[in-house]
A and B are shown apart, each in its own frame.
Chain A
Amino acid sequence: MNKNRPFFHYLTIGAVLLYLLVPLLGTLIYSFSTQWHKTILPEGLTFHWYGELFSDSLFLKAMGRSLILSVGATILSLLIMVPAIFSIVVYAPRLEKFIQALIVLTYAMPGVIIAVGLIRAYSNSGMPMVVVTVGAYFVGILPYMYQGTRNSLRNIQAVSLMEAAEILGASRFTAFLKVILPNIMPGVLVSSLLSFSILFGEFVLVNLLIGGSFETVQVYLYKKLNVSGHIASAIVICYFILISILSSIIVKVTRSRKETL
């Protein structure tokens, strides 16, 4: 019985991996194939679609816009949310329940409903919809930033560290800057990367709120789906490589963080 177990485990893991990798492998091969319609394997391999993709200024611009939106919202969140979460966790823990309620709300609202609500609220306000989107993103990544920052603060026993620093003559601002921030940085970095990855792949809000006027990678991909499956596959592969790089950074930072604790 015991001898059969490893085989069963390998079989299960193999089946799961196959289920996950086959579509990706298919997409990868399709992005390199000249034609793949009537045969089991592609008729030929080519870099043509990637060449075409990277020579399209619209794609590069869309990449840039996606980066601006995601990085902008993440940085804004870092600047506002981290000090706010720090203040609440350390000085007013009883307010944490309100933050938690906000987090539940962000999960409870489907993207389409948020988008329609935002359009109704802001379309005639004169505020550029790009700004509204960044604002919506800011709220959307609240759960990730909150969890990461709060857990880091608890891990380092931030309350005791602040008290120790204050007794040694540091102002609250100095104590936060010199003692708390360097120690929660790995956790905050992981949350930021996670938030960035999620925002970079976001489609519903950006398509409904700004769509064609501010084309991001996801909107570009959506349009290309109707033009060429090969190019769409190439976009998906590029996107996947970028997210893989980010994920490996997250794993590396998390590991080094565990080693230091």
Chain B
Amino acid sequence: MAARKGLTLTDVLITVVIALVFSIIYSIWGGVYTALQPFGLHLNELVYGMWFIAAVVAYLIIRKPGVAIIAEFAAASGETIVLLQFDVMLMLYGLIQGLACEIVFAIVRYKSTALMVAVLAGVAAALSTLPLDWYYGYLGHLETWNLVLMVGFRVLSGALIAGWLAHLLYRGLKETGVLKLVGSREANHSGEL
């Protein structure tokens, strides 16, 4: 097949399917998140990073411009479909988080699959929605220690779940050999780990 530069329909379809697998996980994860909320100690922020994982995994697999943002947006809208709850905030957040990941991937020119890149993208996504949360949730009016705890937990979670765990999943997928089918069909996925 001729090497086409942009996203082909197959690329988009694979991205969206990956995103929808994660949107099912997101929906289940929402229960975990809510269960951790009543303490109010932001323990829920420790699991927040799961919500950016689709962007990172989809990028690691396909590595083309636009994939991260499509994946994250599709996962967010998929979540509204799975939960039957249309939540404009969720889709907006998905878009912003996807964009944050996309910027990190653009900086490495969509080439690197290093663990560090994934971690950086996770952290970027974790930080990306803080300004919105600041206004929506009046974070400026929290006790300072509580705010620090929240931001710290969120960044840690972005790095661990969206970064490290996403990379772990990517390496596992690579071992299955399924990645030979996808993305720019260069020597990308054939090499050893």
A binds B: no
A interface residue numbers (CB < 8 A to B): none
